[in-house]
Homo-oligomer: A and B are copies of this chain.
Amino acid sequence: MRCRDVLLACGVIVICCSPVLNAQETASRTISLNETLIQYSLIASLAAGDYGGGTQLSQVLKEGDFGVGTFDHLEGEMILLDGTIYQALADGTIHKPELTRSTPFAVTTTFDADGQFEDFNALSLEDLDDRLNKQLPRGNSAYAIRIDGEFAALSLRSVKAQTPPYRPLVDVVKDQSVFHHKMVKGTMFGFRCPQWVGTLNVPGYHWHFISDDRTIGGHVISCVFQGTKVEYDQCTSLLIRIPESEMFDDFDINSVKPKDIDVIERQSHPKP
């Protein structure tokens, strides 16, 4: 290499480094997302019918490797596990969506277990919630939770893609597909949000599931299991990504009530 070529190479290195060094100068104003629960938009705006665009899936994957949510037009349940996004459709099939698609609402984190419980049992979703509430260290913190094992019984739901004008989610779930499974191996996972999130996210527990063979999945509405391992990751921060859209600007938080969120997330067949 001649001296001139070396100098040229140096020039390239210096130019390439410049933006990185500038980024380092302001590094004090960045934070690690490792202990952060991230939510894209609010469950209340989703509940109000904001099923349009949102955040691109490729961006979601940059910020987390574990999470739950839905897709543009409310097309199915999002399963983000070990850095891969799966889409559980209302016909019961599982797909890997194109990462150019987007989500109007998702909740993610970088899962890194802080603790675990062995030989955990649950007679129902309510029983599971009660047991976890008694054992998780903090009452007003957020947790990501992962349960790997064999599930004696599971009921999973998904929803069909919607077309504008969008109906509120509390109406859409009246037409949800529900699938009942027995003795299926897989991972049930999701989040516990503290009660103070109100209608910004789901207070309490929000569970999705995917089988080990990646053929069964969805939003969990009932479960029975015993002898499984439960891992939890405490989130010391909650990051809300605020949508920049006209629909979100027009959204009124008071239009969605806590009971709506409860019907949407927990009831297999909402009472009239």
Contact = CB atoms under 8 A, between A and B. Distances in A.
B29 A32 contact: yes
Contact of A30 (B10, B30, B238, B250): B30
A110 interface: yes
A242 B198 contact: no
B62 A195 contact: no
Interface string A2-37: 110011011001101100110110111111111010
A260 interface: no
B237 A241 contact: yes
Interface stretch (A70-78, A133-141, A171-179): A133-141
A190 to B, nearest CB: 18
A248 interface: yes
Copies of this chain in its oligomeric complex: 2
A196 B14 contact: no
A93 interface: no
Contact of A10 (B13, B24, B138, B195): B13
Contacts of A243: 140
A6 B8 CA distance: 11
B29 A33 contact: yes
A118 interface: no
Nearest to A10: B10
Contacts of A17: 13, 16-17, 20
Chain A contact residues (Cβ within 8 angstroms of B): what range? 35 or more
Interface in A189-211: 194-196, 198, 200
A240 interface: yes
A239 interface: yes
Given A23-B24, A240-B237, A241-B236, A140 B34 contact: no
A120 interface: no
A10 B2 CA distance: 14
A262 B147 CA distance: 43
Contacts of A27: 23
A253 interface: yes
A85 B140 CA distance: 29
Contact of A142 (B24, B26, B30, B242): B242
A12 to B, nearest CB: 10
A251 interface: yes
A31 B33 contact: yes
Contacts of A2: 3
16 contacts: A6-B7, A13-B13, A16-B17, A23-B24, A29-B32, A29-B33, A29-B64, A42-B196, A138-B244, A140-B243, A140-B249, A142-B242, A194-B253, A236-B242, A236-B244, A237-B240
